Amino acid sequence: MPDKSEQHSPSRGRKRRGNAQEGSGDNSPVAAEAKRFETAAKGSPVRVSSSSSDAVAPAASSDQPALGDAATVAAACGDAVDLRAGREQIGRDERVRSFMLYLRRERQCSEHTAKNYFLDLAQFVQMTPAIVVDGQCSWAKLTAATARRYAMALAAAGLQHSSVNRKVASLRSFYRFLLREGVVKSSPFRQVRRGKTPRRLPTVLDVAEVSKLLDAPAAYWAGQAAARSDQRSDAEFSAARDTALLEVIYSAGLRVSEAVGLDGADIDFLSSVFKVRGKGHKERLCMLGQPAVKALREYLRVREERGMAGRRDPGPVFLNQQGRRLTTRSVERMYKVYVLSAGLPADSTPHKLRHSFATHMLAAGADLRVVQEMLGHANLTSTQIYTHIDIGRLQEVYAKAHPKA
């Protein structure tokens, strides 16, 4: 998903006008980058709509590109959406190719984020067929009125404000890039207002529920080993690894991607401090609590006994059974198993451990700025939401402070 910062401040940097020409050949880095995202986008979970194929035929040239008819808009916004035509169209566009390369090399966007940009551009082209002239996207022809109508069409199709804001932010970023490259003179999305989104409080686990979750891997794999003695070694490894993983996530409030990206070279066991690479490859220092250190040492011992890697190996910390780095998808699958075995709400996600970390830290009296630094939040407002969650502490403070409580 595009970062929220994309919706406010344009990226700064010196102008580089050679990017568009860089992608003229099919074997160029730009073409390869766009092709990679087009291929990745083809694997996105979208269902095919029989009506959408008729909605993407290029329209005749006009002075002001307009949105397609009602059927086109409905087909491009609904759940059953086929973006193949849009993907193919922008996959051939040199400007989009350059933009994909810019996202990866300059913005350091993740694969997932860059793919979302690509799909948002594909959807826009599919909903605005008149922007395609003679088989090419005429980006400079788009007007502010069409940009506003596009946002209104997304909202009218039933998309939540957060989804509309993200898609408009993707296009706003793309046009800032075109403006930087001298392709357009102004951005038609600059004045499109963001829709107001309700601020939902994150749900968290209490301390007792967290304890149940952290004990779940050992209990689950002990049962598996008892049922199948031939799997005892694999069960011991999985139990040690997943216990350590959950302990580290909760100890430092990590995102799952940050935890699986941890390398042995990043950890200092003497000071119980380790280095984390967060969003945008920003680095920060995090702390390991004693239970996390103990669980991590036990996992590294088991891992070494299996001959997978030494305890001081500088490479990936958390490995799968084949000795490769653990993926976020694998962690999410395992987490669901542990949630059910611990008797916790089935809608719980690994990110809830991060929410729980922040809430428990603030409830215990931690400084808001310190928690912000630990979470890697760029803005304090992102951290402040956790101050509204601990109802028990709010009631306690109210009872002590209010004269009529």
- Specify the range with the lowest mean pLDDT, choosing from 47-51, 118-122, 208-212, 365-369: 47-51
> What is the average per-residue pLDDT within 1-6?
43
Q: Active-site residue 377, yes or no?
A: yes
Query: Crossing angle, helix 232-252 and helix 351-363, to 10 degrees?
Result: 50
Instruction: Round to whole Å and give the CA distance between 136 and 134.
Output: 6
Of the residues 16, 84, 161, 377, only one is catalytic, namely 377
Asked whether residue 40 carries a pLDDT value surpassing 70, the answer given is: no
Asked whether residue 56 carries a pLDDT value surpassing 60, the answer given is: no
In degrees and rounded to multiples of 5, residue 136 shows phi and psi of: -120, 145
The residues spanned by each domain of the chain are 4-180, 207-397
Tens digit of each residue's pLDDT (9 = 90 or more) over 325-342 = 999 999 999 999 999 999
Of the residues 102, 175, 338, 386, only one is catalytic, namely 386
> Of 228, 212, 284, which is closest to residue 252 (Cα–Cα)?
284
* Tokens 């509309």, located at residue: 164
pLDDT of the residue at 67: 53
Of the residues 87, 166, 354, 355, only one is catalytic, namely 354
Q: How confident is the model at residue 59 (pLDDT cuts 50, 70, 90)?
A: very low
pLDDT of the residue at 7: 41
Is pLDDT larger for residue 346 or for residue 32?
346
In degrees and rounded to multiples of 5, residue 148 shows phi and psi of: -65, -40
Q: Are 3 and 110 in contact (CB under 8 A)?
A: no
What's the whole-number average pLDDT of the chain? 78
Tens digit of each residue's pLDDT (9 = 90 or more) over 223-270 = 888 888 777 888 999 999 999 999 999 999 899 999 999 999 999 999
We find that the CATH architecture of domain 207-397 is Orthogonal Bundle (1.10)
Tens digit of each residue's pLDDT (9 = 90 or more) over 345-369 = 888 888 888 888 888 888 888 888 8
Q: Are 374 and 286 in contact (CB under 8 A)?
A: yes
- Specify the range with the lowest mean pLDDT, choosing from 28-42, 213-227, 286-300: 28-42
Tens digit of each residue's pLDDT (9 = 90 or more) over 138-195 = 898 888 998 999 888 888 888 888 888 999 999 999 999 999 999 999 899 988 888 7
Of the residues 104, 255, 303, 360, only one is catalytic, namely 255
Q: Are 56 and 85 in contact (CB under 8 A)?
A: yes
pLDDT of the residue at 4: 43
Is pLDDT larger for residue 320 or for residue 6?
320
Instruction: Round to whole Å and give the CA distance between 359 and 42.
Output: 39
> Of 164, 328, 345, which is closest to residue 172 (Cα–Cα)?
164
In degrees and rounded to multiples of 5, residue 91 shows phi and psi of: -65, -25
Q: Active-site residue 275, yes or no?
A: no
Of the residues 35, 84, 92, 351, only one is catalytic, namely 351
pLDDT of the residue at 26: 45
Tens digit of each residue's pLDDT (9 = 90 or more) over 282-314 = 888 999 999 999 999 999 999 999 999 888 899
Q: Percentage of the chain surpassing pLDDT 70?
A: 76
Q: Active-site residue 354, yes or no?
A: yes
Asked whether residue 81 carries a pLDDT value surpassing 90, the answer given is: no
pLDDT of the residue at 62: 41
* Tokens 């709509």, located at residue: 49
Instruction: Round to whole Å and give the CA distance between 278 and 374.
Output: 11
Asked whether residue 212 carries a pLDDT value surpassing 90, the answer given is: yes
Token reading at 328? 């976020």
Hey, what amino acid is at 251? S
Token reading at 262? 């941890």
Kindly list the distances between the CA atom of residue 331 and the CA atoms of 246, 255, 263, 352, 355, in Å, as whole numbers in the listed order: 10, 11, 17, 13, 17
> What is the average per-residue pLDDT within 19-48?
45
Of the residues 148, 279, 284, 294, only one is catalytic, namely 279
